[in-house]
């Protein structure tokens, strides 16, 4: 993951690929994704037994934040 100051800086980056435009998102959206239970509950003693539930929460947040953009779909 690379963090950039603005979309303009992304486009000026030597490693920029136009087919990856769908992958750009603001830091606030990344924070929302990483606030999902899948990440928050890792120190919970029952993490493994609830992982399917946490993964569902993560996928819901991912779809919501990315508006189900094909770039972010988990294959």
What is the predicted pLDDT for the residue at 19?
Answer: 86
Stated as kind and residue range, the H or E segment containing 53 is: helix 51-66
Q: What tokens were used for 9?
A: 């800086």
Nearest Cα neighbor of 54 from 72, 65, 73, 40 is 40
Report how far residue 34's alpha carbon sits from residue 13's, in angstroms, rounded to the nearest whole number. 25
Matching residue, tokens 């303009």: 8
What is the predicted pLDDT for the residue at 3?
Answer: 84
pLDDT in tens, 5-22: 888 999 899 999 888 888
What is the predicted pLDDT for the residue at 33?
Answer: 92
pLDDT in tens, 22-75: 888 999 999 999 999 999 999 989 999 999 999 999 999 999 999 989 998 877
What is the predicted pLDDT for the residue at 23?
Answer: 87
């Amino acid at each position: 993951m690379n963090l950039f100051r603005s979309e303009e800086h992304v486009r000026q980056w030597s490693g920029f690929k136009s087919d990856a435009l769908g992958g750009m998102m603001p830091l606030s959206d990344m924070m929302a994704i990483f606030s999902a239970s899948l990440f928050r509950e890792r120190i919970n003693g029952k993490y493994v037994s609830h992982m399917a539930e946490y993964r569902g929460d993560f996928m819901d947040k991912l779809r919501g934040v990315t508006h189900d953009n094909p770039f972010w779909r988990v294959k």
